[in-house]
């Protein structure tokens, strides 16, 4: 099975996972690094990038 770059970008680009509640959020990486993005569910600011399979 070939990987389609458009689909890979749509699924994995700018997606971060909350370290507390594991909710996925789409956000600009620079804003995540500066701490300006909050989780919608638990209101924390700790995120990690989504792991590619």
What is the per-residue pLDDT across 1-53, written as a single tens digit (0 to 9) for each?
558 999 888 888 999 999 999 999 999 999 999 999 999 999 999 999 998 77
Q: How many CB atoms lie within 10 A of CB 38?
A: 14
Number of residues in the chain: 53
pLDDT at 51: 86
Mapping DSSP to helix (H, G, I), strand (E, B) and coil, where does residue 39 land? Answer: coil
pLDDT of residue 46: 96
Rounded Cα distance between 43 and 53, Å, is: 27
Q: Where are the domains of the chain?
A: 17-53
* Alpha carbon distance 24, 12 (integer Å): 11
Neighbours of 16 (CB within 10 A): 21
């Amino acid at each position: 099975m070939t990987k389609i770059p458009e689909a890979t970008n749509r699924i994995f680009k700018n997606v971060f996972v909350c370290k507390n509640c594991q909710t996925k959020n789409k956000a600009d990486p620079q804003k995540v690094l500066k701490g300006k993005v909050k989780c919608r569910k638990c209101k924390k600011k700790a995120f990690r990038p989504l792991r590619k399979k």
